[in-house]
Structure 1
Amino acid sequence: MKLLLVEDNAELARWLSRALQEDLFEVDCAGDAEQALWHLQAARYDLVLLDLKLPGPDGRTVLRRLRREREGIPVLVLTASDALDMKVECLDLGADDYVVKPFEVRELVARVRALIRRSANNSQSRLQCANLSYDIQECRFSVDGQLLELTPREHRVLEMLLMQHGQVVPKARLISGVFPMGAEAGENAIETYVHRLRRKLAAASIRIVTLRGFGYILKDAADAS
């Protein structure tokens, strides 16, 4: 799952990015509202972590713009203010949750996962395609109950395919979802990860089908023909 962290404190942003990456999230960072809006136009994110106190236009400006243009993406506000009026204002502007600094990373990660489940219209905590299963809360794939060992980028590719199984996922979307903004990555990199996934999924009753010129589609093997 890919997150955008909007935080002007560079040290805090680095620390929080590392902590989230350890939980298998891909994280892009923005230090102000302008960078945040550029990232949001350039890539697809599963959730935005938004600090309110930013240089120039503040986080509320980003939140208003986001709600006008990309209604569905969850926003988790991070702020040092625990004032009730501020919390009510952010929720009224469209924030999905609100965490006061300092916070425990475990709680933050749990809130992030809960919001992503909710935004995906999931009261469920598990996604399934044939005998491939994904536990959203634990961030784990399994085949017939056996844990599937994946690298972080293999994990992200499979996650994106499973989230839209039965539908075509374009290569460009996979690239933006797997690699941080600014990273040099081409179609061959995605092909490499798909090739590795096919080997690791040999015992699964699913197939990753290539649609030349379009992208990839994850299907039940019974329907893959």
Structure 2
Amino acid sequence: MVDKNTKLTEVLVEYPDLLKIFKPYTFDYLTNDELTVGDVAENNTLDVEGFVKETNELIDVELRRDLGEKNGSELLDIINETYFEDIIDEMPVLRLYVERFISNKDVAGSEIIETFESLVEQVTGYIDYAKETLHPLVKAVIDGQDKNTITGNLTKRDELKRSILELLRKLREKTNHFVPSDGEAETQFLYGRMNAIEDTILDMLLLEDETYKD
């Protein structure tokens, strides 16, 4: 169980499905390893004890994913074979839905389209960079090569990650946290898909953070 001093990264690595309660409040756990459950509550003027209680109640019903038994190379394989593939398959389809269901005739619609297109570009660039450059280097380090060979590449990875997080924040802002104002079924469907792909992207980034810690 967690308390107000439990670090958010520790919670989400063990219980990634808890993203659904944390992500409306912050993405900062991906850039701040010291962020705690209590910090999230206080930063959003929530009742700390109530927020901790809600978190523990959700932990009770989540399936625990044991990453402790997997080495870095195995984690990278999971990322490549599951997260990357899901994202690569889903984002082109989502782009079509955005073009179909979001009007580009008003400022709000144009901003959603522009933000989503930027997100597709950044996430695709991230995946290409990770698959072609970073992951092979990390696996080489795991096999015994000098860790210093990947330092600069991790810096670039961090820059790409921050760009993605900023676009996710902006997309949430432009879509009212994926709550459509018009109530149309098509928009609700699209926003639900956006919300799901956000989960996948955030979980992917969190797993990669865990891989590079060592």
More strand by share: 1
TM-score, normalising length from structure 2?
0.25
**TM-score, with structure 1 as normaliser:** 0.24
Larger relative contact order (Cα-Cα within 8 Å, sequence gap ≥ 6): 2
